Amino acid sequence: MTMFKTIYAGLAVLLFATAAAAQSDHSGSWHAIEERSSWSDGAFPKGFNLTIDLKFEGDKLFYHSENDTNKDAIQKLDWTAPLDGTIAPVVGQPRFNQVSVKPLGPNQYQFLELKDGDVVVGAIWTFLADKKTVVRWGVGKSPVGISRAFIEYFARK
């Protein structure tokens, strides 16, 4: 029985080390690739200019983004969330006030953006094997309640 406990403990350490290594590969600055991205309603904004900075540290994700697609209304966003699916608060964002991030595998995460507990965006982020590309695919509900699917590509800066 002791041998099995040792094996399980070793596997747990290996899985934790693998997940931690993958997370460190995902930290960095990611910039949108407009020409590869689209929305299901065809209304993807021309000149889409979004940069996302991710810092995976321990069991948390530190998120910062700047979207200056509309030069007259630059949007900046900062939040921190645990990597266990727990809902965390977001301040200063009128569209959503909570987030949840949960790993689905070593290179894939579920991201939820919520407004008072209601999911307004559900997305899967996949960090590709090239370590230079992340794809986020999901469905979002606009402020007027109309949903659309999206796929957005980002390149490491």
Identify the pLDDT of residue 10.
Answer: 55
Alpha carbon distance 105, 102 (integer Å): 9
Nearest to 79 by CA among 56, 63, 101, 58: 63
Please check whether residue 52 is in contact with residue 68, taking contact to mean a CB–CB distance below 8 angstroms.
Answer: no
The residue among 113, 66, 74 whose CA lies nearest residue 90 is: 113
Contact of 93 with 105, CB cutoff 8 Å: no
Q: Is the pLDDT of residue 99 over 90?
A: yes
Residues in CB range of 39: below 8 A, 6 or more apart: 148, 149, 150
pLDDT at 21: 44
Please write the tens of the pLDDT for every residue from 19-70: 444 556 899 999 999 999 999 999 999 999 999 999 999 999 999 999 999 9
Contacts of 48 (CB under 8 A, 6+ apart): 32, 34, 37, 69
Residue-range domains of the chain with CATH:
2-156 (2.40.128.20)
